[in-house]
Amino acid sequence: MSELNLILLGPPGAGKGTQAALLTADFGLPHIATGDILRAAREEQTDLGLLAKKYMDAGELVPDEVVIGVILERLGSDDARDGFLLDGFPRTIDQADALGARLEEGERRLTATLLLDASDDVVVQRISGRRVCRKEGHVYHLDFDPPKNEGHCDIDGSELDQRDDDREDTVRNRLAVYHAQTEPLISYYDERGLLRRFDGTRPPADVHDHIRATLATLRLEEDL
């Protein structure tokens, strides 16, 4: 069986986390998310991990070459031999180039870059409608899963708040960053024939079915 080497792209709120969980369960791929990997490298005290720690402890952004080093190191581990699912990497064209070069060196290739698409307005509606209860963190949505008593948790009656991260202006800022950083990557992978688009506004199970069908086709083509 050929390797399944995947990148997951998409705006916040498009369901990347859900699809990543389903894909890793289906195919036993390690889910390699940049933040988690940096934390793990720091805990394992690898050379690069310790370097990343210096920046993180100082509250600074970890430089590109350190992030690249940590991720590429991770792709070389045993559990990533049959494939991987990258999430949050690459974020820049430099990172994409570094990834491409490393895969080529190892005579590996990217299977596909999966883009979960959702318009800004859909993302804003999904995220800014979230409300969380003060007591236990139960999650509601004003439009899709409203509480029975407005402003109060169904389970414990405590008040519902909007997290700062979920405020519309915060979400719009994150989307602006996403578009600036990611749009060049979308073209980059599209030009290389690796981009596959999925409608992130569809129910998660439908999106998942569509991704599986696409991957099955890609693997058939590869094995021909």
> Which residues of the shown chain bind Zn ion in the complex (CB under 5 A)?
133, 136, 138, 153, 155-156
Closest to Zn ion by CB, 142 or 218 = 142
CB of 132 to Zn ion, least distance (A): 8
Please confirm, yes or no, whether 91 is among the known catalytic residues: yes
Catalytic residue status for 130: yes
| Candidate list 53, 91, 102, 197, residue with the active-site label | 91
With respect to Zn ion, which residue has the nearer C-beta, 74 or 131? 131
Candidates 74, 126, 130, 196; catalytic one: 130
Query: The tokens 């690898």 sit on which residue?
Result: 46
What DSSP string runs through the chain? ---EEEEEE--TTSSHHHHHHHHHHHH---EEEHHHHHHHHHHHT-HHHHHHHHHHHTTPPPPHHHHHHHHHHHHTSGGGTTEEEEES---SHHHHHHHHHHHHHTT----EEEEEE--HHHHHHHHHTEEEETTT--EEETTTB--SSTTB-TTT-PBEE--GGGSHHHHHHHHHHHHHHHHHHHHHHHHTT-EEEEETTS-HHHHHHHHHHHHHHHHHHHH-
Q: Check if the beta carbon of residue 51 is closer than 8 Å to that of residue 66.
A: yes
In this complex, which beta carbon is closest to Zn ion, that of residue 36 or of residue 156? 156
Q: How far is the CB of 170 from Zn ion (least distance, A)?
A: 23
Residue 163 annotated as catalytic = yes
- Residue identified by tokens 């195919």 is 27
Q: Rank residues 149 and 173 by Cβ distance to Zn ion and give the closer one.
A: 149
Residue with tokens 């969980």: 21
Please name every residue paired with 133 in a beta bridge, in sequence order, or none if there are none. Answer: 160
CB of 131 to Zn ion, least distance (A): 10
**Residue 153 CB, nearest approach to Zn ion (Å):** 3
Least distance to Zn ion from the beta carbon of 158, Å? 5
Nearer to Zn ion, 159 or 222 (CB): 159
d(CA 218, CA 215) in angstroms, rounded, equals 5
Q: Catalytic residues, which ones?
A: 16, 91, 130, 163, 174
